[in-house]
Structure 1
Amino acid sequence: MSRALTDDDLARFQAQLCDVAEVMFAERGAEQVSIRQIAAALGVSPMTPYRYFASRDDILAAVRIRGFERFAGQLEAAYTATPGDAAAKAAAAGRAYLDFALSNANTYRLMFEQHQQEDGSDSALGRAVARARATLSVYGDGLIGSGMAEAEARALELLIWSTLHGAVTLELAGTTPPGSARQTLALLGRLGMRA
């Protein structure tokens, strides 16, 4: 008789399934990966993943939630651990952004190149997206705190985020040389100090 699975056993298998699915989704595109393929890669029966997830979209959402949570945690830690003013904290968050994106390319692509209906909802995925988005607002918050109009601060924040995202995406694609995203962040920092 087989032993009953503990909560830890279940969590371990779900994490393993998400690890495998993340790589497959990133390499092939989420639409091109079936639950049957994920099961085969794990060496389990085709029905086993259905014990944990109702659909491929649920697996994709779980992978993205994990990514957004890790991403937000890394940015929050960098921001809170950095002494100094809002500019120093925002620069630390920018470095953490690049560290995460460049070290977790598959996850980063799935987080920002996929969109699911729940991204803007109050679901677990929606809350993870909102948390990550809030970590990207630290620069705008600092500008508002120093007296800049909110609309202008948020527009500048979006410009900086778009620039960083573009620099990361180009570097991950091999279009720009390694280190170019960090050079872009340094230039943004220098330009921001003059503003």
Structure 2
Amino acid sequence: MSVSRPLSQDDLARFKAELCDVAARLFAEHGAENVSMRQIAGAMGISPMTPYRYFASRDEILAAVRIRGFEAFAAELEQAYADTPGGSAAKAMAAGRAYIDFAFANANTYRLMFEVHQQEDSGDGALGAAVARARATLSVYGTELIARGIPRARALAMETLVWSTLHGAVMLEMSRTTPPGSAQEALALLGQMKLHQP
């Protein structure tokens, strides 16, 4: 009789990542509120009770998906900003490209990050910290404008304009309302605008 070996930490991490991947797809396709733990298990071909060994509830899985997304998103934007030589305009364009690349490479997770809100989003736990990190990354543009002497209210308005434009362009392209490449074109147009002027 064969005896199954205990799962290693790597095995556990891989399984939880796979579970989160499947859940992210189901949440994005059907709405998080319409997906049960049983459906997630069924899509994975595992026992209905297995997910409960790793997550207490569907909402905990949703939070895990979003934490992972926000952390990866922030890391990619931070890396693009740090690795790009030149001034703030060049860095902002690099971060914009990283934003778009992340969104399309992780479409299901991206939707859940910004279209779903949980109570823990503004808390001091892991989800709140991940949301705050991503928000701080997105605030770099406004922070730089303020440092250059742009009035705070205008700088924050410009920051919101850039973020809203990028997010809107991404969502329109994802829904096939606009043709492929439209989000990158929107970013290029933003780069041509003199948003940094007082």
Residues 158 and 195 of structure 2 are in contact (CA less than 8 Å); yes or no, is this contact kept in structure 1?
no
* Structure 1 gap segments, 5+ residues each: none
In the alignment, the residues of structure 2 paired with residue 193 and residue 57 of structure 1 have an alpha-carbon distance, to the nearest angstrom, of 39
How many residues of Structure 1 are paired with residues of Structure 2 in the alignment? 195
In the alignment, the residues of structure 2 paired with residue 55 and residue 48 of structure 1 have an alpha-carbon distance, to the nearest angstrom, of 12
Who is 1:36 aligned against? Answer: 38
Q: 1:146 to 1:194 in 2, by over 3 A?
A: closer
1:18-37 aligned within 5 A: 18-37=20-39
Q: Is the deviation greater in 140-149 or in 74-83?
A: 140-149
Who is 1:169 aligned against? Answer: 171
Who is 1:58 aligned against? Answer: 60
Q: Tell me which amino acid in the other structure corresponds to 1:117.
A: Q
Residues 71 and 130 of structure 2 are in contact (CA less than 8 Å); yes or no, is this contact kept in structure 1?
yes
Does residue 152 (structure 1) correspond to residue 154 (structure 2)? The answer is yes
Identity of aligned residues (%): 70
Who is 1:77 aligned against? Answer: 79
TM-score normalised per structure 1: 0.96
1:90 deviates by: 1.0
Backbone CA RMSD of aligned residues: 1.2
Who is 2:112 aligned against? Answer: 110
In the alignment, the residues of structure 1 paired with residue 96 and residue 102 of structure 2 have an alpha-carbon distance, to the nearest angstrom, of 10
* Structure 2 gap segments, 5+ residues each: none
TM-score normalised per structure 2: 0.94
